[in-house]
Structure 1
Amino acid sequence: MSPGQKGKERKNMQRALGQVTRRDLLTMIGATAGSAALYQAMTTLGHARSSPYKGPVNLQGDPGAAKVLILGAGLAGMVAALELRAAGYEVEVLEYREKAGGRCWTLRGGDTYTELGGFRQDIEYAEGNYFNPGPWRIPHHHHAILDYCRRLGVRLEPFIQRNHNAYLHSTAAFGGKPQRFREIATDFRGHTSELLAKAVDQGNLGELVSDEDKEMLLEALRINGVLDRDFGYVKSQHTSEFRGFQSWPGGGANAAPRPSEPIASDDLLQSGLWRWLGEAETVNHQETMFQPVGGMDMIAQAFEREITDLVRYNTKVISIKQDETGVTAIYEDTASDAEPQETRAEWCICTIPFSILGQIENNFSDGMKGVIDKVHYAGSVKFGLEFNRRFWEEDEHIYGGISYTDLPISLIGYPSNDYLSGGKGVLVGGYSQDAGAYQFTAMAPKERIRKALEYGAIIHPQYRSEFSTGASVVWHRVPWALGCYGTWNNRKADYDRATRFDGRTLMAGEHISYLPGWQEGALLSGLDAISRLHDRVMNG
């Protein structure tokens, strides 16, 4: 880059600094300074919050003969059932599926899944392999779900979110060739640090940096940006210790390493690959993250073991009516041709997703009905692709983590378990949201798998020869959810109404939380609902 070009670039940065938004500032801090600085900045600006869970719920007092009807045996419903029974309530749970867990769901070999449209998938993974269509990771600060895993004996292992040896990929950059994460991350940090350091050194930031802080800031940029004494980001042994070597250090003859050439700043910026550098810096994706050993539904199974005698499975609720003394639910047994039946309780906790609840006959208030109708559910598609060998480890030395791409599959997730085990392995062969998921929603399962393989082979050519079998779940075609998670058009106006008692019913679930799509949100919502219900029972 010529001196004139560099000067122009510095002026553009100065101009941008005067118009920076909170989001821009956080992105810059995260990309150049890392997660600790980002978290501190987010806390200062009011964004970052740990889970408010403080420990086991304590429901004091005898509820007498009060009965609670819980609709739905997802995590919100099961934690409500578990704690209410412990507090002395009579509890009955109605669950649409043949098993509990809701979106805490795992597919294994021998399972079958039929989506809307009658498309059936027979899962043929090898023994021990699995795929989590819904949640697949647990942040370290989601205290409620971690506590229940501890209390219920669910074994956890680390989930690798960021892998410096995974790929970043754009069809429009570098001839469509994937780039290693560490190269993009190091070069982006180096080039931006060089630009900022020279702007500081030449006084171009004006009053943004005090004279006292100038030298300290320059030293910080030099160290963190891997800059030389002249604040340049250049090819060297030192930069290669971060971005990787052209020829790696070895042993014996001709073992000396050779430094690698950084990507030019213009090429790097134009590539757009830097857009994914902050994915693992958001507080819900920072290390350490966890996953249950053996599949996410190990959590559902642990809850289910505690409350299975309270659950009536294969029950499709078709009517919910409440009066001054209780709530009546009418349901069909989907496993038989029996006539509809009904059950009644003094109170109800309804965890049915609003996408389904809006289609069930009810006499909720007009205000509650209005909120139910306005909450939409995000589209999402996820692929679980099994291959005959773990080529990502054997050929490319990728152990866990995620590669990102601008292809419709959005990402490829590598398993965080059974490293170096040989044999077949399952990748998350794509995980797309909303608009990116819609094209797959319209396809039959076999066509979806074909497209996922086509896209994935652009990043991993081994797809073509190593594919064994696969499964996919498009959440708008999941009969018991009709979407991935709840999204609010106007949370400020509607959320408070959704959390209030409606007659003798309280709503709960991930949609009644500020953690949409996370299991923590479901648990916190369920615990909040039973605490308020118990207070109502005790105090009238």
Structure 2
Amino acid sequence: MSAWKDLPAQTRREFLRRVTILAGGTAASSALPALAAVANNVPQLHVVIIGAGLAGLCAAYELERSGHRVTILEADAKHVGGRTRTFRFSDGLYGEAGAMRIPTRHDITRRYIREFGLPLRKFVLSNPQAYYFLRGERQRIADAARLSRLYALRDDERGKSPDDLWSDSVVKALKSLSEPEKKDLTADTLATDKVRAYDQQSLQQLCEAAGLSDEAIELLAVTQGAETLLSSAATEHLREELLEVWTQGFDEIVGGTDRLASAFAARLRSKPRLGCEVVRMSQRSDIRRTAAVYRQRGTEQRVEGDFLLCTVPCPVLTRIVVEPELPGPKQRAIRQLNYDSSTKVLVVTKRRFWETDDGIFGGGTFADLPTGTTYYPSDNAEARDPRVSRGPGVLLASYSWGQAARRLASLPHQERVTSVLLHLSRVHPQLREPDIVRESASWSWDNHPYSGGAFAWFMPGQHSSLHRHIIAPAGRIYFAGEHASLTHTWMQGALESGLRAVREMLVAAQA
């Protein structure tokens, strides 16, 4: 018998409780070791997982590795991976409808990518040869300081690049924080007055408090791809700046981001059950059991387990009946948590004119047009093979967020493409050439019935008022997904939340 089993039950429970508390307040890199600390000596559990996105797949993978049983119910009849979704075109070309890049700092994501043997290559985020298209003028990013002539800036703002303006506002605010205050940005519950104050501010208000003029804020926001995020919580942007999300480089999965979800699914003994839309979750505390009722091919079925893990986004969760009802604060958090919108329009062109004519190998063009940001493929960024440049390529012609995304999403697919090409041809006249576009695809996460939005993104005050309720379990029902993390929008957030939920369920099983 192990020394662990020799401990009194009360001592075991207290140890597990402390491990969970400590793990919840540390960096993401501690998530897997923290899980390992509680994985042993837990009686076999049966966990019903709702949703086969990355959070659900990761949780299932780790539960099975620890000897537990899982049942995964996925509403989509043809897809696993949630908001990782790759479009496949002819000639082996592909593009991403969802997640498309992995920050260097996202250690958990990279840990699984290495474990599964998936190849990576550099994702080029910024390229000085790409363009800004602002107020009707096209300008190379390398000449960003010249943009100030297009705006009615104050004398002290003229000649500054967008990066300078970001440093004068967001970076300056971050530097004003003490080390405990910086740590507070990544805490589930905010403990410092200064960070709580920033949580009540929007990005717009932070920039105004830093002394930026309205014209400078517009220049900063458009060139950072953040114009639709000006009303969101300042703490979202301070946290990403603290964690160096945008400054330490990115990679992409060769062959498509959906390979990560496929790798998880391939290693599961219990494969996701597709086309199973959960309509009801229930639990009984007297017998420590949970149940999910789902519809499959027009009939309702029921599956029971020791725990339920719900990983669906909040817009979808609002459609599921929960018995008994969730606590009032959790219901409010699910209803109110802000989700941003995202629409992508991709085109396959018969030649990579941005490489042959403009010398752009990877990176993005930022515009105040309805197109938002345009991203160029990174697959030829290092080799710069002229044979590849003369051949077809996938251009992410439009990546838009917020109101701009919703406006595009309101159009049928072909009208989206026509509108995007009309505007983007002002930046790249080559798009007016006959038959330059061979194929196209578009995607709106708002319009997807099992997403209802692109990603969670706090509005002012939501970190303080909602986050702790979003992540809290309700009896034997646990919750995960990028919305149940502080790493919103990223695959890392989904994985972090899945690991956290597994750890908490294993702790609860020992109680």
TM over 0.5: yes
Instruction: Decide which of 165, 168, 181 is 2:129's aligned counterpart.
Output: 165
Query: For the residues of structure 2 that align with 1:273 and 1:521, how far apart are their CA atoms?
Result: 30
Instruction: Decide which of 256, 270, 280 is 1:319's aligned counterpart.
Output: 280
Instruction: Decide which of 442, 450, 453 is 1:480's aligned counterpart.
Output: 450
Q: Does 1:95 align with 2:74?
A: yes
Query: For the residues of structure 2 that align with 1:387 and 1:276, how far apart are their CA atoms?
Result: 26
Counterparts of 1:260-279 in structure 2, within 5 Å, are: none
Counterparts of 1:46-85 in structure 2, within 5 Å, are: 51-53=28-30, 55-56=32-33, 57-58=35-36, 59-85=38-64
Q: Is the 8 A contact 2:126 2:364 kept in 1?
A: yes
Query: For the residues of structure 1 that align with 2:159 and 2:294, how far apart are their CA atoms?
Result: 66
Cα deviation, residue 53, structure 1: 4.2
1:451 is matched with which residue? 419
2:90 is matched with which residue? 126
Cα deviation, residue 299, structure 1: 1.0
Q: Which moved more, 1:179-188 or 1:49-58?
A: 49-58
Aligned residue type for 1:374 = Q
Aligned residue type for 1:331 = Y
Q: Is the 8 A contact 1:385 1:471 kept in 2?
A: yes
Instruction: Decide which of 306, 317, 320 is 1:357's aligned counterpart.
Output: 317
Query: For the residues of structure 1 that align with 2:415 and 2:332, how far apart are their CA atoms?
Result: 38
Q: Is the 8 A contact 2:345 2:398 kept in 1?
A: yes
Cα deviation, residue 415, structure 1: 0.2
* Partner secondary structure for residue 489 of structure 2: coil
* Partner secondary structure for residue 342 of structure 1: strand
Cα deviation, residue 371, structure 1: 1.9
Instruction: Decide which of 377, 387, 396 is 2:339's aligned counterpart.
Output: 377
Instruction: Decide which of 436, 441, 462 is 1:471's aligned counterpart.
Output: 441
Cα deviation, residue 62, structure 1: 2.6
Query: For the residues of structure 2 that align with 1:488 and 1:413, how far apart are their CA atoms?
Result: 25
Q: Which runs of 5+ in 1 are unaligned?
A: 1-48, 109-124, 197-268
Count of aligned residue pairs for this structure pair = 395
Aligned residue type for 2:406 = Y
| Poorly superposed stretches of 4+, deviation over 3 Å | 49-57, 185-188, 191-196, 269-282
1:495 is matched with which residue? 467
Query: For the residues of structure 1 that align with 2:147 and 2:426, how far apart are their CA atoms?
Result: 24
2:374 is matched with which residue? 412
Cα deviation, residue 313, structure 1: 1.3
Aligned residue type for 1:449 = V
TM-score by length of 2: 0.73
Instruction: Decide which of 337, 348, 352 is 1:390's aligned counterpart.
Output: 352
Aligned residue type for 1:165 = Q
Q: Does 1:532 align with 2:511?
A: no
Q: Is the 8 A contact 2:53 2:82 kept in 1?
A: yes
Query: For the residues of structure 1 that align with 2:444 and 2:225, how far apart are their CA atoms?
Result: 23
User: Per the alignment, do residues 328 and 148 of structure 1 end up closer, same or farther by CA in structure 2, a change over 3 Å counting?
Assistant: same
Q: Is the 8 A contact 2:225 2:372 kept in 1?
A: no
Q: Is the 8 A contact 2:282 2:290 kept in 1?
A: yes
Query: For the residues of structure 2 that align with 1:271 and 1:467, how far apart are their CA atoms?
Result: 35
Aligned residue type for 1:178 = R
1:213 is matched with which residue? none
Aligned residue type for 2:65 = A
Cα deviation, residue 76, structure 1: 0.5
Q: Is the 8 A contact 1:184 1:274 kept in 2?
A: no
1:523 is matched with which residue? 495
Aligned residue type for 2:482 = E
Query: For the residues of structure 2 that align with 1:320 and 1:383, how far apart are their CA atoms?
Result: 36
Q: Is the 8 A contact 1:63 1:89 kept in 2?
A: no
Aligned residue type for 1:410 = G
Cα deviation, residue 279, structure 1: 6.6
Cα deviation, residue 271, structure 1: 12
Q: Is the 8 A contact 1:69 1:347 kept in 2?
A: yes
Q: Is the 8 A contact 1:140 1:288 kept in 2?
A: yes
The one-character-per-residue Cα deviations of 1:414-451 (angstroms, maximum 9, x if unpaired) are: 00004431321111111111111121121111111110
Cα deviation, residue 194, structure 1: 10
Aligned residue type for 1:326 = R
User: Per the alignment, do residues 127 and 355 of structure 1 end up closer, same or farther by CA in structure 2, a change over 3 Å counting?
Assistant: same
Cα deviation, residue 327, structure 1: 1.2
> Bigger relative contact order, structure 1 or 2, given CA contacts below 8 A and separation 6+?
2
User: Per the alignment, do residues 460 and 271 of structure 1 end up closer, same or farther by CA in structure 2, a change over 3 Å counting?
Assistant: farther
Query: For the residues of structure 2 that align with 1:393 and 1:384, how far apart are their CA atoms?
Result: 17
Q: Is the 8 A contact 1:403 1:411 kept in 2?
A: yes
Which one has the largest radius of gyration? 1
The one-character-per-residue Cα deviations of 1:468-505 (angstroms, maximum 9, x if unpaired) are: 22111111101110110123452312211222220101
2:87 is matched with which residue? 107
2:478 is matched with which residue? 506
Query: For the residues of structure 2 that align with 1:461 and 1:135, how far apart are their CA atoms?
Result: 29
The one-character-per-residue Cα deviations of 1:237-265 (angstroms, maximum 9, x if unpaired) are: xxxxxxxxxxxxxxxxxxxxxxxxxxxxx
Q: Is the 8 A contact 1:185 1:274 kept in 2?
A: no
Q: CA RMSD in A?
A: 2.6
Aligned residue type for 1:90 = R
Percent identity over paired residues: 29
Q: Which moved more, 1:397-406 or 1:65-74?
A: 65-74
Instruction: Decide which of 242, 248, 257 is 1:296's aligned counterpart.
Output: 257
Counterparts of 1:336-351 in structure 2, within 5 Å, are: 336-337=297-298, 339-351=299-311
Q: Is the 8 A contact 1:53 1:524 kept in 2?
A: no
The one-character-per-residue Cα deviations of 1:18-63 (angstroms, maximum 9, x if unpaired) are: xxxxxxxxxxxxxxxxxxxxxxxxxxxxxxx974446453043232
The one-character-per-residue Cα deviations of 1:307-360 (angstroms, maximum 9, x if unpaired) are: 263321111111111111211111111xx34x2111000101110111001011
Aligned residue type for 1:481 = S
Query: For the residues of structure 2 that align with 1:193 and 1:455, how far apart are their CA atoms?
Result: 29
* Partner secondary structure for residue 347 of structure 2: strand
Q: Is the 8 A contact 1:139 1:290 kept in 2?
A: yes
Query: For the residues of structure 2 that align with 1:308 and 1:453, how far apart are their CA atoms?
Result: 45
Query: For the residues of structure 2 that align with 1:428 and 1:187, how far apart are their CA atoms?
Result: 24
Q: Which runs of 5+ in 2 are unaligned?
A: 1-25, 149-154, 161-214, 227-239
